[in-house]
């Protein structure tokens, strides 16, 4: 499941609910604790996450300072291929097209496997959730729904495990239906009050400013004004409510529907976990918003006068479409990892996750394969506000045999304010999450040459991916293990900051207790450390 920030249901006065939208060796050495950063709490700027905690007093990663002070008049020494395993990427986006990976051995559009890698016309990557006829999976079920179907169809619903699965599916489905009913009620209320306000103002254009200026003794208009302003203040815009209705409807029609089978589109033998060559070459797919946003964070073209600056120069972005609107499947994840590695990726970004992994061994095998080739895997920790010591999230770096993947970074999301330094939605874990990175109000690319702010550990992971690629591009002599160690050991020292624990109602915890490294990644310090390490070798 794409890990955007989950819907948060707010109380809007009389309206009820509405929506807004480790290494296998010694543990990394934490940096010394320094005086607390002077946080400047206020509205997020579009570039806050790239700013510096010392010079800008913002808990970003200091990458712009690094380019200005450490990388000035320097060029990357190698090109680093970064694979984005996600929902798809708009490879023609104005701020991405110049950095999209192109398969040198493939001739576009000739319907042949020119390079003999088993994938026809894989010019910019591959789509493991597409069919040979060009159709694509958009919606899919959740993994727990698939397990429920297995239990139901095999007549095992009476067993304790299947009972628990059935209770989860039925409970979450009922919850989604309840929220949908509330959303529909809010939408009806919005339609009513907008009609009143439009009639009073004599225009279909209704804004917060025009409504605030209304002064009327008419009780109907006065009440409509009051309700409208409360809704807007809570973030319950008509667009957000409609988005919530669509999400909840999709959950009911597809995600929690055990009789929906998206795999008919793909046409593979899903039971054959060794099957690798299926899908199609459409690396954008029907909804590339999530993947395009992730790609921009990593490597949107820097200083081109449009859009945003990505973190890493010297990168090529490979799109490996793996994630539907629903839960990704273990078989596809394993094949996506292998495809990316075999086609030259040095870093893999995986901004997705789910609560069950019935075929985890094949994902573990793919992760081991990636590590054997020196590839670094970066994964979003998830958006449930849970401690991963007690809350399972897959894929993860713990193999079935108990060994931990060394070339893996698990990433939590940080924010730009003191109380929100640990994002309220982010999963965490003293031993389970390696580092935190900015993941709140991240402004990046979305399809069709547009830009948008999104929240989520999905946004935090590519910050770390971009930093890893940046280190590899300017210091190619570093191994993936060294890159990981540098990132872990140079985090901004927020260990002693008492922050609100994600998922809690105001409970406070030392930020350093929420991850292995105990801080937020810092590009400026990481590049300084890389220079020190490589200089000492010469």
Break the chain into its structural domains and give their ranges: 46-139+269-537, 148-255
The conformation of residue 403, written as its DSSP 8-state character, comes to -
How buried is residue 473: exposed, middle or buried, by Cβ count under 10 Å (0-12/13-18/19+)? buried
Could you give the residue ranges of the DSSP H alpha helices within 71-159? 143-153
Residue tagged 């982010």 (tokens): 426
Residues 431, 389: contact at Cβ < 8 Å?
A: yes
Largest CA distance in the chain: 81
Residue 526: count of CB within 10 angstroms of its CB: 27
What pLDDT sits at residue 5? 41
Please write the tens of the pLDDT for every residue from 503-535. 998 999 999 999 999 999 999 999 999 999 998
Q: Which residue has the higher pLDDT, 331 or 21?
A: 331
Residues 164, 280: contact at Cβ < 8 Å?
A: no
What pLDDT sits at residue 535? 87
Rounded to whole angstroms, what are the CA distances from 151 to 6, 164, 352, 356, 513? 28, 11, 25, 14, 39
d(CA 414, CA 317): 24
Contact residues for 217 (Cβ-Cβ < 8 A; gap 6+): none
d(CA 179, CA 185): 10
Residue 17, beta-bridge partner list: 11
**Distance, C-alpha 237 to centroid of its chain:** 24
Kindly state the percentage of the chain with pLDDT values over 90: 89
What pLDDT sits at residue 38? 63
Please write the tens of the pLDDT for every residue from 21-57. 223 333 333 333 344 456 666 778 999 999 999 999 8
What pLDDT sits at residue 493? 83
What pLDDT sits at residue 36? 46
Q: For 439-531, list the strands marked E by DSSP.
A: 442-446, 450-454, 498-500, 508-510
Residues 113, 120: contact at Cβ < 8 Å?
A: yes
Phi-psi label, residue 251: left if phi above 0, alpha if psi -120 to 50, beta otherwise: alpha
3-state secondary structure of 118: coil
Radius of gyration over every alpha carbon of the chain, rounded to an integer in angstroms: 24
Is the per-residue pLDDT at 165 higher than 60?
yes
How would you write 15-38 as a 3-class SS string? HCEEEECCCCCCCCCCCCCCCCCC
Please write the tens of the pLDDT for every residue from 449-504. 999 999 999 999 999 999 999 999 999 999 999 999 999 999 998 888 999 999 99
Contact residues for 286 (Cβ-Cβ < 8 A; gap 6+): 88, 136, 138
Please write the tens of the pLDDT for every residue from 242-252. 999 999 999 99
Residues 268, 277: contact at Cβ < 8 Å?
A: no
Retrieve residue 320's tokens: 């490996």
pLDDT band (50, 70, 90) for residue 17: very low
Is the per-residue pLDDT at 15 higher than 70?
no
pTM: 0.91
d(CA 242, CA 245): 5
Could you give the residue ranges of the DSSP H alpha helices within 475-522? 480-489
Contact residues for 488 (Cβ-Cβ < 8 A; gap 6+): 23, 28, 409, 434, 435, 516, 517
Fold of the domain spanning 46-139+269-537: Rossmann fold (3.40.50)
Please write the tens of the pLDDT for every residue from 388-436. 999 999 999 999 999 999 999 999 999 999 889 999 999 999 999 999 9
Kindly state the percentage of the chain with pLDDT values over 70: 92
Rounded to whole angstroms, what are the CA distances from 75 to 60, 297, 302, 467, 522? 23, 20, 13, 16, 20
Give per-residue burial for 417-455: e unless 16+ CB within 10 Å, then b: bbebbbbbbbbbbeebbbbbbbbbbbbbbbbeeebeebb
Is the per-residue pLDDT at 274 higher than 60?
yes
When pLDDT is averaged across residues 199-212 and rounded to a whole number, the result is 95
For 192, phi then psi, to 5°, come to -65, -50
Residues 489, 30: contact at Cβ < 8 Å?
A: yes
Rounded to whole angstroms, what are the CA distances from 158 to 147, 165, 167, 390? 14, 11, 11, 26
Please write the tens of the pLDDT for every residue from 360-371. 999 999 999 999
Please write the tens of the pLDDT for every residue from 168-178. 999 999 999 99
3-state secondary structure of 348: strand
When pLDDT is averaged across residues 194-198 and rounded to a whole number, the result is 96
What pLDDT sits at residue 505? 87
What pLDDT sits at residue 43? 76
What pLDDT sits at residue 37? 58
pLDDT band (50, 70, 90) for residue 357: very high
Retrieve residue 491's tokens: 């985090």
d(CA 401, CA 390): 18
Is the per-residue pLDDT at 65 higher than 70?
yes
Residues 317, 96: contact at Cβ < 8 Å?
A: yes
What pLDDT sits at residue 23? 30
When pLDDT is averaged across residues 86-113 and rounded to a whole number, the result is 97
Cis omega (within 30 of 0) for bond into 395: yes
Average pLDDT, the chain: 92
The C-alpha torsion from 439 through 51 and 469 to 485, rounded to 10°, is -80
Rounded to whole angstroms, what are the CA distances from 411 to 214, 227, 374, 396, 423? 47, 40, 20, 11, 12
């Amino acid at each position: 499941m794409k890990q955007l920030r989950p819907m948060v249901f707010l109380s809007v006065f009389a309206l009820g609910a509405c929506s807004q939208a480790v290494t296998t060796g010694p543990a990394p050495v934490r940096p010394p604790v320094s005086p607390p950063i002077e946080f400047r709490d206020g509205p997020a700027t579009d570039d806050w996450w790239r700013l510096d905690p010392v010079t800008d007093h913002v808990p970003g990663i200091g990458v712009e300072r690094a380019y200005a002070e450490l990388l000035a008049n320097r060029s990357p020494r190698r090109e680093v291929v970064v694979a984005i395993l996600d929902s798809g990427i708009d490879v023609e986006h104005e701020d991405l097209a110049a950095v999209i990976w192109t398969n040198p051995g493939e001739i576009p559009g000739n319907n042949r496997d020119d390079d003999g890698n088993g994938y026809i016309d894989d010019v910019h990557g591959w789509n493991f959730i597409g069919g040979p006829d060009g159709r694509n999976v958009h919606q899919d079920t959740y993994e727990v729904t698939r397990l429920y179907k297995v239990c139901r169809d095999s007549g095992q619903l009476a067993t304790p495990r299947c009972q628990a699965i059935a209770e989860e599916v039925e409970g979450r489905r009922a919850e989604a239906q309840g929220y949908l009913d509330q959303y529909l009620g809010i939408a009806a209320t919005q339609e009513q009050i907008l009609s009143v306000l439009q009639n009073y103002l004599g225009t279909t254009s209704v804004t917060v400013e025009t409504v605030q200026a209304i002064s009327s003794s008419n009780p109907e208009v006065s009440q409509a004004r009051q309700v409208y302003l409360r809704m807007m203040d809570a973030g319950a815009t008509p667009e957000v409510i409609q988005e919530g209705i669509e999400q909840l409807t999709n959950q009911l029609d597809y995600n929690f529907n055990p009789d929906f089978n998206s795999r008919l589109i793909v046409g593979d033998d899903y039971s054959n976990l060794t099957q690798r060559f299926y899908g199609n070459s459409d690396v954008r797919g029907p909804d590339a918003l999530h993947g395009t946003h992730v790609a921009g964070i990593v490597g949107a073209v820097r200083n081109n006068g449009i859009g945003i600056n990505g973190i890493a120069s010297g990168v090529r972005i490979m799109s490996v479409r793996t994630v539907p609107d629903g839960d990704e499947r273990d078989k596809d994840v394993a094949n996506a990892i292998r495809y990316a590695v075999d086609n030259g990726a040095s870093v893999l970004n995986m901004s997705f996750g789910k609560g069950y992994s019935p075929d985890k061994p094949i994902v573990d095998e793919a992760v081991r394969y990636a590590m054997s080739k020196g590839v670094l895997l970066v994964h979003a920790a998830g958006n449930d506000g849970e401690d991963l010591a007690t809350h399972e999230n897959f894929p993860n770096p713990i193999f079935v045999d108990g060994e931990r993947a060394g070339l893996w970074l698990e990433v939590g999301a940080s924010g730009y304010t003191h109380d929100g330094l640990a994002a309220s939605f982010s999963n965490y874990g003293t031993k389970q999450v390696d580092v935190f990175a900015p993941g709140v109000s991240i402004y990046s690319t979305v399809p069709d040459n547009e830009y948008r702010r999104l929240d989520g550990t999905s946004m935090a992971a590519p910050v770390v991916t971009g930093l890893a690629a940046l280190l590899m591009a300017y210091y190619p002599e570093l191994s993936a293990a060294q890159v990981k160690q540098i990132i872990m050991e140079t985090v901004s020292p927020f260990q002693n900051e008492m922050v609100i624990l994600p998922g809690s109602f105001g409970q406070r915890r030392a930020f350093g207790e929420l991850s292995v490294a105990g801080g937020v990644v810092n590009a400026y310090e990481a590049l300084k450390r890389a220079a020190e390490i490589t200089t000492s070798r010469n």
